[in-house]
Amino acid sequence: METPVQRLLRLMAELRDPRRGCPWDVAQSFETIVPYTIEEAYEVADAVARGDRDDLRDELGDLLLQVVFHARMAEEEGAFAFDDVARAIGDKLVRRHPHVFDADGALLPEGTPRRDPAAVEAAWAAIKARERAGRPEPAPDPLGGVARALPALARAEKISRRAASYGFDWDDAAQVIDKVREETDEVAGALAQGDGPALAEEIGDLLFAVANLARHAGIDPETALRDGTAKFERRFRAMAAALRADGGELGRSDLAAMEAAWGAVKRGERAG
């Protein structure tokens, strides 16, 4: 009897069959599927944020389908197959968790000293650095391996974390706050001068500094921004409802009325 994973792999192969498969699936390539892969990862994050476990199950399935789709196309090219993907990540998990597994992948005996999460993260980074250094490249890129397709804020955090692993970092979050203030002043200067290109550059520097601040504070900047946006959405909708309750309407109410309704919404949330 087929396991669920075996069934999924078979279905994907049949969908990609040039003669009997689905014309849409057959026409796809790595490049055309990537946007869907990224989108499905965000759908997973959204289901987690909403605490919807039924939706999370479905979204994880959609994300798994993306992995299977890519693996199937690679198998058709003779590059690798799904089992190679699973084997590679399994080997990596063993290799990067020497505090949990021995070299053969067996659990270490009970009583083995445990590490705290910070020590585990530091060891993980050190192992990754050794792996990169051991690759047969004449000049390894110290910032290589951070996907360019990541959202800009998430990539900024990862790049700054990579730089920090080499000791290029501030000592504490207070110093990063000073950097954020410095970059804010530079944004204000570029704005006052009316220099568009300089303003764009300085805003980029400010956002990068904020990503560093989030990292030092132990906050995922992508999640923080997503939550901040969700809060704005919630308050904006509540403000619109408050305006309607008072006989007003978005687009016809002046800024003073909207700010008054916005303030009332914020006070109501704090009181609740």
* 235: pLDDT strictly greater than 70: yes
**Side-chain half-sphere of 56: how many Cα atoms within 13 Å?**
9
Residue 266 pLDDT greater than 60, yes or no: yes
Q: What is the dihedral of CA 47, 52, 54, 55, to 10 degrees?
A: -30
Provide mean pLDDT across the span 6-18.
Answer: 97
Q: How much is the pLDDT for 137?
A: 53
Q: Which of 28-37, 73-82, 133-142, 192-201 has the lowest mean pLDDT?
A: 133-142
* CATH number assigned to the domain with residue range 141-219, chosen from the 4 options 3.30.70.20, 3.30.420.480, 1.10.287.1080, 1.20.1440.60: 1.10.287.1080
Among 104-113, 143-152, 196-205, the minimum mean pLDDT is found in: 143-152
- Residue 126 pLDDT exceeds 70: yes
Give 33: exposed, middle or buried? Use CB within 10 Å, 0-12, 13-18, 19+. Answer: middle
pLDDT at 139: 61
pTM of the model: 0.63
Query: What is the torsional sign of CA 15, 19, 24, 30?
Result: positive
Fold of 4-95: Helix Hairpins (1.10.287)
Domain edges within the chain: 4-95, 141-219, 223-271
Cα–Cα nearest to 203, from 223, 188, 225: 188
The answer to whether the 4-95 and 141-219 domains have the same CATH topology is yes
